[in-house]
Chains A and B, each alone.
Chain A
Amino acid sequence: MAHDDDIPTPDAPETPAETAKAKAFGELVEGMVSDQTPPPALAFEDRALLETATMIRAGSHDAFDLPADRRNAIIDAALESGAGIERDAAPQSSVADELAQRRLRRMAPWAATAVAAAAAVFLWLRPPGGQAPVNERPVPVAQQSRPADALVGRIDRAHAGDASARIDQMFADRSAGYRAVRFRRQGGDQ
C-alpha cells in the first residue's frame, strides 16, 4: 500500500523490480480476460490490482455470466439454509406444552361462543351494502402521492443541479401510478 502514493509518470524509467511485477500482473490480467480463476495465493497488492482490473472490465461489459451450475448451487444452498432455519425453529413438544394444549382444547368452545356473539353483534351493526366500495379499499403505495426519496436515491454533488432528470423520473413513476388509479376507478381491480 505504501507504493500507492508514488505512482511514476508514464515516461518515467522502469526499474527491474517494477518490470517483474508488471509482467506478473500482465499475466494475471491475461488469465482474468480469459475467465480463468486467479491463483489462490496472491500478494495483497496483486490481488487488489487484479480486483480493480476486474471491476473495470465488469463495469464496462454486459456479458459476465454466472455459470448455470454455480448459480444453481448458490440458490440450492440459500433455500436449504432457509429451510434449515425454519426446521430448527420448530418447537419441541414437552409435558408443559401438552398441558397447555389440553387447557386450550377445554377453552375452545367458550372462546368460540364469545367470537360468535361478537360476530352476531357485528353483523347486526354493520351498515347495509355488503363489501366496502372499491375506493375505500387500501390504496397501493404505487398509487399514492408520497415523497420521492426512495425513487431518486441519494443525490451526489456531481448531480446536484440535475433536477430535470429527476423530475422526468418522478413524472414517469407517478404517471404509472396515476394510470393504475384511473384503471381502478373504471372498475378494474389492481
Chain B
Amino acid sequence: MASDPAEAEALDCERQIIVEAQRGNLNALRPLLEKYATPLYSSVILPRVGDAVAAEDILRDTFYTAVTKINQFKWQGRSFFAWLRQIAVNKAYDLHRKSKRQRKLADSLRRELPSESAPESSADAMLIAAQERAISRERIDGTLVEISERYRTAIQLRLIDELPREQCAAKLEVSIGTFDVLLYRAVRAFRKHYGSR
C-alpha cells in the first residue's frame, strides 16, 4: 500500500489544481486531463462503446463537460478521476440510448451506473481504471459462458488472444473461410446476449 503522506500529497495537488481552475484559470486543469485521458479512454469509454472514433468523441465531450462545469465540482477528498469517469459512463450510456437499436445495450450499461468507489488518493485513480478493466472483463466473460463453446473459442482465439486468422483456423481444424464464418456467428451471438444481461 502506498504511504499515506504521499497519497495525501498527490490528492492535495489535485485539489489545488481544481481550486485554481475554479478561480478562472481553466488551463490549470491540463495536467489532470493529460494524466487521465488514456485510462479514461481505454478502460472506461472504449470497452463500452467499441468504436474508437465514438470513444474519442465521448472523451472530448467528457472533458468539455468537466471544464465547463468545473465550478459545480465539489471537492470531497476523492480523486478527480472518479468524477470524470462518472461523466464518461453517463455519456456512453446516452450514446447507446439515442440509438433505438442499442437500447438493450444501453439498459445493460445503465445497470452499472454509477459504480462509485471512493478512493482517497490520485494513485487510486489507476485502481479505478484497473477495476474498470476487471468489470469489463467480467462482463465479457459473463456473456461468453452464455454462447456455444465453439463460438466462445473463436472469440477467445481471435479477439482476446489476438492470434492471426490462419492460426485460429488451424487450432479449430477448419479452413480460414470456415473460421471467418464461425467468428462472424460468434460475434453475432455475443452481441445478442450482451445486451440482454
Contact = CB atoms under 8 A, between A and B. Distances in A.
B67 interface: yes
Pick from B48, B111, B191, B194 the residue with the most CB of A within 10 Å: B191
B101 interface: yes
Interface of A: 1, 3-5, 7-10, 14, 18-19, 21-23, 25-26, 29-30, 33, 37-38, 44, 47-66, 70-72, 74-75, 77-79, 81-83, 85-86, 140-142, 150-151, 153-154, 156, 158, 169, 173, 176-177, 179-180, 190
Nearest to A30: B165
13 contacts: A7-B188, A22-B177, A22-B185, A37-B52, A44-B101, A56-B140, A57-B159, A60-B140, A63-B42, A66-B56, A142-B77, A150-B116, A177-B120
A53 B42 contact: no
A66 B181 contact: no
Closest 9 CB pairs of A and B: A59-B136, A51-B50, A153-B115, A82-B67, A78-B63, A55-B50, A142-B77, A22-B184, A64-B42
Contacts of B171: none
Contacts of B113: 154
Pick from B24, B48, B116, B176 the residue with the most CB of A within 10 Å: B116
Interface string B60-85: 10011011101000001110000000
Pick from A4, A38, A85, A176 the residue with the most CB of B within 10 Å: A176
Given A22-B180, A151-B117, A59 B133 contact: yes
Interface majority SS (helix, strand, loop, mixed), chain B: helix
A62 to B, nearest CB: 6
Contacts of A50: 50-51
A54 B50 contact: yes
A141 B77 contact: yes
A75 B34 contact: yes
A72 B66 CA distance: 16
B56 to A, nearest CB: 6
Given A50-B50, A59-B136, A154-B113, A81 B184 contact: no
Interface majority SS (helix, strand, loop, mixed), chain A: helix
Given A7-B188, A58-B46, A140 B77 contact: yes
B186 to A, nearest CB: 8
A60 B159 contact: yes
B33 A75 contact: yes
A158 B113 CA distance: 15
A64 B189 CA distance: 25
Contact of B160 (A4, A19, A47, A57): A57
Given A22-B184, A153-B116, 8 more contacts: A23-B180, A49-B191, A55-B50, A57-B162, A59-B133, A60-B137, A72-B34, A74-B59
A14 B187 CA distance: 16
Given A33-B162, A56-B140, A86 B26 contact: yes
